Every structure is written in structure tokens, then in C-alpha cells.
Amino acid sequence: MKRFHIGLGLVALVLALLLPAGAFAATTSTPSVSYNTTLSDWNYGGFSYPYAGQLKLQIGSNGIINGWYSNSDSYIPVPVIGGQTGNYIWLDIGDMGRLHVNAHVQNGKFIGTATQGNKMFDFSASPIT
């Protein structure tokens, strides 16, 4: 085990000496924005039961989205990836896109639908101010 740590340290030292000084510097930081979310289930006996949660997202200037989602029941964060082109946004929430969101940005809010398997939900996300 000690040999592994020493070897890893040597690799890090060699890389630090060979790479330019800015190679490890953070790229332009994109601030995180938090959203309150609501999912309304279309398949629940003809009426919708809203599920509340929160998103914490970073939306890069290139349109790539990364972040976390937690629902109001568990507060356990799950990964979010996605993209934005103009006013269109898509998100995959959870491992392997367990919940897929398609939405439009309207006055800073995301309004659209989400699918999980054969279930469909109304989806909205409002920035937390």
C-alpha cells in the first residue's frame, strides 16, 4: 500500500514539473443556480400529485449543464447532466438518465415535461432568490 502512495506522489510531482503552470488552474467558473422544482404525475388516477425538489445547476457558456437534484423526501443528491440551446433545455436526472426533462426557459423558469419509463410528468423549476 505504501509503495502505491509513493508511486502516485511521484507521478503527481513529475506531471507538475512537466505541465505548464496553468494546466491545473480552474477553467472559468460558472456560478451555481438553485431551483425549486415541481413534478406533477399525469398517471396518478386522473389528477396530479406534485413532487417537490431542488436543483443546483451550473450552466456553462457552451450550453453544458452539470449539477445535483434532491427531492424533498430524501435530500440525497443525485447527479444531473444536460444541455441548453437557446431557450430549449434538457436534463437527465439520476444515474443513466432515470428522469429525462425537456423544457423551455421562460422568464428564468424551466417549463416542460419529464419522463421516467412510461410515466410522464409536468415539470417546472423556478430560481431560488
CA angle 107, 110, 113 (to 5 degrees): 140
Query: Domains in the chain, start-ordered, CATH in brackets?
Result: 33-127 (2.40.128.120)
What mean pLDDT, rounded, does the chain reach?
Answer: 78
**Strand partners for 59:** 65
pTM: 0.71
- The 10s digit of each residue's pLDDT in 81-98 is 999 999 999 999 998 658
Contact (CB, 8 A) for 57 and 64: no
**Strand partners for 53:** 37, 71
**pLDDT number for residue 24:** 41
Residue 68 confidence (pLDDT) above 80: yes
